[in-house]
Amino acid sequence: MQFPKLSTKRLSLEELSFDDVKSLYQHFSNEEVVEHYDLEVFAKEDQALSLIELFKKRVDEKLGIRWAIKLKSNNSFIGTCGFNSWNPKMKSSVIGYDISREYWGQGYATEAMREIIKLGFSGGLPCGELNRIQGDTVPGNQASETVLKKLGFKEEGLLRESGYWKGQFHDLKCFGLLRSEYNEI
């Protein structure tokens, strides 16, 4: 599969490469970035390398896809986004995104996610055209909920103790967006 490179007004969404190891390490070594994430704070650059290898493997095996989010103005790495998993039979997928702390509140997550959602509903993914995209947040992650709501996702309910990371169970608020509800914003 040719990795789809996407572009928005301010952002370039591209395949994570081994050139991104240092930036990815800095990104995930910030406690605030991983507060609601299923990763521990990175302590070594090797963890970033392993994560890039995992993302590449998931693309190769057609299980999911993750993009590096970079500013067009200076090619700075500011986060990642993607389809964490997809189910071609059910035409559904689960999304995720993270933005480096210094870029919070500037609309970058919404801008990046808008572009990959458009790709998912247009059939541009190896899993084919999606009918449903789901985003889950940890209760209290208001910033992430705001991103999903701006994109037209509807809150569907609470998945009790649906996640397990960092040695404990986590409730997840489930948000969904259907292709029939989708409007290019």
Domain layout of the chain by residue ranges: 6-131
- The pLDDT value given to residue 163: 85
What pLDDT, on the 0 to 100 scale, is given for residue 19?
95
CATH superfamily for 6-131 is Gcn5-related N-acetyltransferase (GNAT) (3.40.630.30)
Q: Is the pLDDT of residue 92 over 70?
A: yes
pLDDT of residue 185 exceeding 80, the answer is no
Which residue in the block uniquely carries the two structure tokens 């189910």?
87
Q: 3-state class of 141 per DSSP?
A: coil
Residue-wise pLDDT for 25-53, tens only, equals 999 999 989 888 888 899 999 999 999 99
Q: Please, which residues bridge with residue 99 across strands? A: 79
Residue whose tokens read 């801008």: 111
Largest Cα–Cα separation, the chain? 44
- What's the pLDDT at 1? 63
- Output the DSSP codes for 52-116: HHHHHHHHHTTS-EEEEEEETTT--EEEEEEEEEEETTTTEEEEEEEE-GGGTTSSHHHHHHHHH
pLDDT tens digit string along 128-182? Answer: 889 999 999 999 999 999 999 999 999 999 999 988 888 889 899 999 999 999 9
Model confidence pLDDT, tens digit, residues 104-118: 999 999 999 999 999
- Supply the pLDDT for residue 34: 84
Q: What is the pLDDT of residue 126?
A: 84
Return the pLDDT at 36. Answer: 81
**Beta carbons of 8 and 114 less than 8 angstroms apart:** yes
Find out whether 26 and 33 touch, Cβ atoms under 8 Å: no
Residues 6+ apart with CB under 8 A from 170: 138, 161, 162, 163, 164
Q: Are 74 and 16 in contact (CB under 8 A)?
A: no
Cα torsion for 49, 75, 107, 181, to the nearest 10°?
A: -70
59-85 pLDDT, tens digit per residue, is 999 999 999 999 999 999 999 999 999
pLDDT tens digits, 12-28? 999 999 999 999 999 99
pTM: 0.93
Is 183 a residue whose pLDDT tops 80? no
What are the C-alpha distances in Å from 172 to residues 26, 37, 38, 93, 133?
26, 12, 12, 16, 15
